[in-house]
Amino acid sequence: MELLHSKILGEGTPLFILHGFLGMSDNWKTLGSQYADNGFQVHLIDQRNHGKSFHSPDFDYDLLASDVIAYMDHRQIESALILGHSMGGKTAMQIATSHPYRVTKLIVADIAPKFYPPHHQYIVDALAQLDFNKITSRKEADEVLSQHLKDFGIRQFLLKNLHWVEPKKMGFRFNFEVLKNRMEEIGDNIGATASYDGPALFIRGDRSEYILPNDYPEIKKHFPKAVIETVDNAGHWLHAENPKQFFEKTLHFMNS
């Protein structure tokens, strides 16, 4: 079985961090270093079809969870704190409900246990405009993307995924072909009866619509010990938009 790629920082209690859709472990390097400085062995993980991890035509949350369990087994880690953002939060929920004894504490960033209709299509459509037979630099790629995506922050987030596939030929690190065709799976929900009875923190951005107050009963149904916190002045990318408050709230929960 192929193993997920990771970057490991620090020593101490294992903490796994799972990025969101079209993200990668590198997005969490700064916060990961801060957790490492506070006594955690941080595993920044690239999920399948993302970052430097393997590409596969198969993609759903059962598989994403199994990948992490296989990684834990390989590293001989019995249990860990698991923090996941967005798609990574769905993976984290799947791990916690399917393998509860492997999760000491669960942190879910800005995603709820519910189905989300596909809503990244505009990003996928913009990425489809990049012709790597013509584009030879990140600057050129940004010029093309800027015609379709006005948000500078989202463009920079996406452009991090560009790399040299071969000399003078750029490409994506993520598996674009598979991911653009599996949008339904990205929004998928955990099972109707799935539950995790351990400590859980659901943390939302005050400007985000991914977790709304009417989602709280559903969170409590699946995660009865869940605490729900809000990060101020932050949307869906709350860990990037208000990293100080995100770090303080998550660290307090990990240490409590």
Catalytic residue among 19, 50, 222, 236: 236
Taking the model in full, what pTM does it have? Answer: 0.95
| pLDDT above 80 for 199 | yes
Do the beta carbons of residue 84 and residue 90 sit within 8 Å?
A: yes
Q: What pLDDT sits at residue 203?
A: 98
Q: What pLDDT sits at residue 158?
A: 92
Dihedral, 205, 226, 218, 203 alpha carbons, nearest 10: 10
Catalytic residue among 2, 177, 184, 248: 177
Tokens, residue 211: 């977790």
Q: What is d(CA 174, CA 256) in angstroms, rounded to the nearest whole number?
A: 36
| pLDDT above 80 for 8 | yes
Catalytic residue status for 177: yes
Q: What pLDDT sits at residue 121?
A: 87
Catalytic residue status for 33: no
Question: pLDDT tens digit string along 72-115?
Answer: 999 999 999 999 999 999 999 999 999 999 999 999 999 999 99
Q: What pLDDT sits at residue 185?
A: 86
- Of the listed ranges 153-157, 171-175, 250-254, the least confidently predicted one is 153-157
- Of the listed ranges 1-10, 66-75, 91-100, 180-189, the least confidently predicted one is 180-189
Q: What pLDDT sits at residue 224?
A: 98
Counting residues of the chain whose pLDDT is more than 70, the rounded percentage is 100
CA distances from 93 to 26, 106, 142, 202 (A): 22, 8, 34, 11
Query: Span 182-209, mean pLDDT?
Result: 92
The average confidence (pLDDT) of the chain is 95
**What confidence tier does 167 reach under pLDDT thresholds 50, 70, 90?**
confident
Q: What pLDDT sits at residue 66?
A: 97
Catalytic residue among 53, 86, 98, 208: 86
Catalytic residue status for 86: yes
